[in-house]
Amino acid sequence: MTQPGYVGASSSITADDVPAFYEGAKFYSPAVGDANKSSVNSWLAGLLDRNGPVPLLKVEGVPPETPCVSVCVLGSGSAMADLPPAGDEFELAVRQIERLQRVEFGAVYPLAAATISALVAVVTAAQLRVPLLDADGMGRAFALIHHTSMHLSGVSPTPLAAVGPTGESVLVEVPAGPRADRMLRANVDTVGGWAALAAYPTTAGVLRRAALPGTVSRIANVGRLLLDRTDPDLLVTRLGAITGCRRLARGRIAELEHLSRPSDVTIPAHPSSLVVDEVGGLGRQLRIELRSEIVAVFADGALIAGAPDLMCLLDVSRGALATLDSLEPGDLIDVLVTPADAVWYSPRGIEMVGMGSHGIPLAHPRRR
Amino acid sequence: MRHPSTLPITLGELARIQPLAAAEPHLADPARKVEQVVLAETFERLRRCTPHGLVVLHNEAATGGWSLAAALHLAWERNLSAVVVARSVAGDSSVALAERLTMSLIVIDDDPIDVALHLAGQVSAPAAARALRQARLAEQLAEQTGIRGVLGVLNRELQQVPVALVMGGVVLGGQSAALTERPHVRQIEVEVHAPGERSTARLVAAVPVPGPADQVESLLRLARPSLQAAWAQSRLDAAARAAHEQAAFGLLRRLAGDPAPEPAEPAGVEAPGWAGELGWQVGEANRAVWLAPVRPAGEPAPEITFMIRASWQRGHTTWPLVAEGDGWISWHSSADPDDVTALRRALAGFRDSAVAHRLVIGVGRAHDGVAGLMRSVAEARLAAHVAREDGPGAVQWFDQVGANAALAWLPTTEIAQVADLCLEDLMAARDRAALVQTVLAVLDAGGSLSQASQQLGVHRNTVLARLSRARQFGLTYDEPGQRLALHVLCYALTSLWSDVTEAPS
């Protein structure tokens, strides 16, 4: 149990941490709407109340031979709001892999410590009564399930199990990681629009080098800062201390361009563009490229930030994060950029999740 | 033969010919030269562009809003002349960014590859492109039927170069900015001979230095035939209109002169409907203006009427101008008889033209209705006659003319002819002017020799001597029976001779 306003390390997750957890998870995937917020939060808070707090352990704090598995939500969040989970999907998915591999997992970790996936990892740990690892595979949210540090380290995502709200499940085994996402996408609609995914079964010893450490406790801390509604300037400074984020510019939204442009087919998204007139400073014209997330920010046509940087918009008048579906011309926003984990700026990382994967063939500003 | 210019073609010139003529240009600097055309498919290609190039975006480099923004930035970095892009990619914000970077952006509807090929041809052969432009201009000029239209085409085509048609210091059309002398601007003139016209008009263009002086001159020459045709046409029109107005005014005059057919109409004759067709207003307070030459020489030529109309109706196109006798009638109608501000302003604006054409102006008083208008016309005419004493440009308001107006009506020329017959000896004398002047001064002074000598500035004895000599020639001014006739005669001769000495030979 942590005091309100506490920011720092923690060894467990309690029901009181759930709202902060949710807000922090949203910071790392700003495109997600709030459709699930109350139902998921109360589900998780109820679980933690009944089953007790979930221990949050560092990867190094777990014996290296401990079998671990990651979980996440596959598919769209709005589908999850339409067809809410029965409650046992994630547990079932993990149990399927346990049966297949004849192991018993000693810890769970989120595939991505962001979006609803961060919360369902806590749910799964509470249901399985195992600790949660303070690590994940993305450090933010990326679009595809092989966009992980584990994949870059040679850990296979399979065997993986996907269980839909209909109770049906898919078990996938592929030799090449990137194929798994394709096969799963074809099945997600059939099993209810979203699915509970258990993947990357491995050991804690492998995760010590393959996973990104500290990302779960980080979203809890970020969430606490965001819940503590405060002056936007102060908020940006505080966030900067935890996440390394900084403000690119403050401006007013001038135009929303909804274009159906030809885009790379590997990532399902409709490209659109946001034009922001900078207030103060150099009065630059900012162009913010949107896919399923913000993928690039141009100032007067010069690229100043781009994927895999995490870019998000802060609604200055409310002092809260603005979700991409709530933007209106005339809104005053801060454009924040947070560096992703260093692994994403490696050549292979850039190739996988950089701007090229979103159809923007420009060199990343951090690599020029 | 003049050699066509081989200077690099400018953005403004390219935007005037196909395929860019159909595009939507946002030119930061039309005078910017274009040395090369690049069809850029990738950003890598854009990064290798050399300055002063025009880049046509295509494929990967034109995939969306961000790509145009990035391309504009690169173009700015590379000091390119312009960016050409398909409409599907360009939005309002891209135009705003182009303006912010002062980078020219041209939005096209055609296929970028076709456009790039065309442009490359034009840029590599600027002379051919210019010839194309001239051909296109010639087509446009040929479509114009009016002077205003021709000058409009020229001014649109030449953009930063104002063009005006000038005749004798009066701007007949176009932008008068062409005449103002400014630093770094050279004036190029082309003479335009109107058919059957003695005087010539000039087409004047103010070209910045250094600038495309040769091209401007050839464009002006190109416009000359159209201008001559338009001029002839407008003169035909003007002749028809003048005849129309004259006839209409004659009808008005007859209406006013006819005794009212029904005595139930004491207010006078209503303005007939057809007066409105000509744009004429006959209202409550009609104040007539008579424009007349200082020295009447019969009916004025239609060309003069045309030019007077052009300058008189500048800004007051509904004011009539009717050629009548040796002058022109116009009038101004308003509800308030004392409202003369518009008229005063018009008179002030017309002053230069009046001096240039050696005109005097008489203004009548304000009267009601058609009959009132005719009365005002008569007053204005009288006032104009009085105004002649003050030379070209003079304006005389009837309100300020007294009984002296009667003198203005004297047919001085005819009276002078009488003198030729009756006073043959006097007219043959060498000192006739001095004699007549002296007799007039004595008569004006009521017979007082001292007053007359004072007025003439000569000694009293000189006056006496002249009087006795005049008497020998038949100027028997002191005979009561002849005094009036001789007084009038002396007045007529003096005013006639003073006109002659004043008038330029």
Q: Could you report the average pLDDT of every consecutive run of 10 residues in chain A (368 residues)? A: 61 89 86 72 89 92 95 83 86 95 95 90 94 94 91 92 92 89 87 92 95 93 87 90 92 78 49 87 90 88 92 87 81 93 92 87 82
pLDDT band, very low/low/confident/very high, at B196 (cuts 50, 70, 90): low
CB contact under 8 A, B71 and A301: yes
Architecture of domain A12-215: 3-Layer(aba) Sandwich (3.40)
Domain boundaries in chain A? 12-215, 232-358
pLDDT band, very low/low/confident/very high, at B22 (cuts 50, 70, 90): confident
Return the structure tokens found at B19: 């395929």
- Of A285 and B253, the structure prediction assigns the larger pLDDT to A285
pLDDT band, very low/low/confident/very high, at B505 (cuts 50, 70, 90): very low
Mean of pLDDT values over B12-32: 85
Distance (Å, whole) CA A18 – CA A287:
35
- pLDDT tens for residues B490-503? 888 887 777 655 44
- Of B262 and B95, the structure prediction assigns the larger pLDDT to B95
Q: Between A255, A301, A360, which is nearest B73 by CB? A: A301
For chain B, the first-to-last Cα distance in angstroms comes to 44
Residue B263 has pLDDT above 50, yes or no: no
Contact (CB, 8 A) for A268 and A287: no
**φ and ψ at residue A129, rounded to 5 degrees:** 55, 45
Residue B1 has pLDDT above 70, yes or no: no
Distance (Å, whole) CA B205 – CA B186:
8
- pLDDT tens for residues B355-398? 888 888 888 888 888 888 888 888 888 888 888 777 788 888 88
Q: Between A257, A303, A359, which is nearest B65 by CB? A: A257
Chain A residue numbers with beta carbons less than 8 Å from the beta carbon of B66 are: 273, 287, 289, 296, 298, 360
Edge-to-edge strand ranges of the sheet holding B327-334: B322-324, B327-334, B285-293, B359-367, B395-397
Return the minimum-mean-pLDDT range out of B11-25, B52-66, B220-234.
B220-234
CB contact under 8 A, A300 and B101: yes
Chain A residue numbers with beta carbons less than 8 Å from the beta carbon of B93 are: 254-255, 257, 275, 285, 287
Our CA-based measurement puts residue B102 at a distance from the nearest CA of chain A, in whole angstroms, of: 11
Residue B170 confidence (pLDDT): 66
Q: Which helix (H) or strand (E) holds A45?
A: helix A37-51
ipTM, two decimals, is 0.81
Residue B3 has pLDDT above 60, yes or no: no
What is the DSSP pairing of strand A169-172 with strand A160-163? antiparallel
Distance (Å, whole) CA B394 – CA B361:
6
Please identify which residue in the block is written with the tokens 């007349």.
B292
- pLDDT tens for residues B277-288? 566 777 778 888
Q: Which letter, b or e, does each residue of A319-332 get, where b requires 16 or more Cβ atoms within 10 Å of its Cβ?
A: bbbbbbeebeeebb
CB contact under 8 A, B43 and A361: yes
Chain B residue numbers with beta carbons less than 8 Å from the beta carbon of A273 are: 64-66
Residue A318 confidence (pLDDT): 84
Our CA-based measurement puts residue B8 at a distance from the nearest CA of chain A, in whole angstroms, of: 29
Residue B269 confidence (pLDDT): 56
Determine the length of chain B. 505
**DSSP state, residue B10:** B
Residue B485 has pLDDT above 60, yes or no: yes
Top CATH class of A232-358 equals mainly beta
Longest dimension (CA), chain A: 62
Q: Between A257, A359, A360, which is nearest B91 by CB? A: A257
Domains of chain B: 11-127 (3.40.1390.20), 144-231 (no CATH), 268-407 (3.30.70.270), 411-502 (no CATH)
CB contact under 8 A, B66 and A261: no
Return the structure tokens found at B30: 């039309």
Contact (CB, 8 A) for B101 and A300: yes
- Of B209 and A66, the structure prediction assigns the larger pLDDT to A66
Distance (Å, whole) CA B443 – CA A205:
138
Return the minimum-mean-pLDDT range out of A37-41, B288-292, B466-470.
A37-41
Nearest partner of A337 among A294, A282, A283, judged by Cα: A294
Residue B95 has pLDDT above 50, yes or no: yes
The dihedral over CA atoms of A174, A177, A182, A186, expressed in degrees to the nearest 10, equals 50
State whether residue A146 is helix, strand or coil: coil
Q: Which helix (H) or strand (E) holds B239?
A: helix B213-257
pLDDT band, very low/low/confident/very high, at B478 (cuts 50, 70, 90): confident
**B69 touches A: beta carbon within 8 Å:** yes
Distance (Å, whole) CA A343 – CA A223:
24
Q: pLDDT > 70: what percent of chain B? A: 89
Distant-in-sequence, close-in-space partners of B289: CB < 8 Å, separation ≥ 6: B329, B330, B331, B332, B343, B347, B361, B362, B363, B364, B380
- pLDDT tens for residues B306-360? 778 777 776 565 677 888 877 888 888 877 778 788 788 888 888 888 888 888 8
